[in-house]
Amino acid sequence: MKIDLRLEDGITVVDLEGTITIGEGDVQLRKTLFALIERGQNKILLNMERVGYMDSSGVGELISCFKEVHERGGQLKLLNISKKIKDLLQITQLLSVFEYFSDEAKALSSFK
């Protein structure tokens, strides 16, 4: 998985590219986010536009990141999830847990 970070209005946008599956992106994503939180950057927007595939390990990973960010008083939101990833979050009843957006500007202003 490719992970790029950019800071927009004090919010870290994490641009992901690839798959979030067992032994692939998962550990890498967690490490990146945990490092961000350590540095106090705890407003995080995960841009999943280029994540084409995610399995149950990936879902678990998202939750693990979500919980960690929240425990540290931060916020983790999702941007541009694909129809299929939305389906996965829907059937696992997690869609109401994650805030998600399809417009970056709106997503960013929601952190205010």
Among 3, 41, 49, 64, which residue sits at the site for another protein (rule: CB under 8 A)? Answer: 64
Cα separation of 78 and 74, whole Å? 14
CB atoms within 10 A of CB 50: 13
Instruction: Confirm or reject binding of residue 28 to another protein (CB under 8 A).
Output: no
Among 18, 59, 104, 110, which residue sits at the site for another protein (rule: CB under 8 A)? Answer: 59
Instruction: Confirm or reject binding of residue 88 to another protein (CB under 8 A).
Output: yes
Instruction: Confirm or reject binding of residue 75 to another protein (CB under 8 A).
Output: no
Nearest approach in angstroms of CB 81 to another protein is 15
CA torsion through residues 20, 25, 28, 32, sign: negative
Instruction: Confirm or reject binding of residue 41 to another protein (CB under 8 A).
Output: no
Please name the residue that has the structure tokens 């927009």. 8
SS3 97: coil
Instruction: Confirm or reject binding of residue 84 to another protein (CB under 8 A).
Output: yes
Among 97, 102, 103, 109, which residue sits at the site for another protein (rule: CB under 8 A)? Answer: 97
Token pair belonging to 14: 């994490």
CA torsion through residues 66, 3, 42, 106, sign: negative
Give residues in contact with another protein (CB under 8 A). Answer: 21-23, 27, 53, 55-57, 59-61, 63-64, 66-67, 84, 88, 91-94, 97
